[in-house]
Amino acid sequence: FSIEDLSRVVEHCVDNQWPLNDVNAVYENKIKISEALKLFCDVNGLEPNFTVVSESSNNYTGSGLALKSLGIQLAGLEKGFEDYL
């Protein structure tokens, strides 16, 4: 979850009355850590020079449905990765 999007979520929380008690700061699209690392490399033109030594059927993040229901315009993971370097 990018710092830019976290800022948008916090700003929305401060400026509006939230209908939820809590929300996971995660995107709706589920990916594994290895997939996130590959995306980071792709977005930043880096050679994905890593080896996955174990695999799981589980994704890395929790549910993003509650956050999506708030209608906050998020930049997304790929944009966050672009801004990281």
Cβ–Cβ contacts within 10 Å for residue 12, how many?
Answer: 16
Mean pLDDT score, 5-34 = 87
How far apart CA 24 and CA 46 sit, in angstroms, is 29
pTM: 0.77
pLDDT score of 35: 87
Of 53, 19, 47, 16, nearest in space to 33 by CA: 53
29 backbone dihedrals φ, ψ, rounded to 5°: -75, 125
| Confidence band for 84, pLDDT divided at 50, 70 and 90 | confident
Q: Return the higher-pLDDT residue of 9 and 19.
A: 9
Which helix (H) or strand (E) covers residue 12, if one does?
helix 3-15
The share of the chain scoring above pLDDT 70, in percent, equals 95
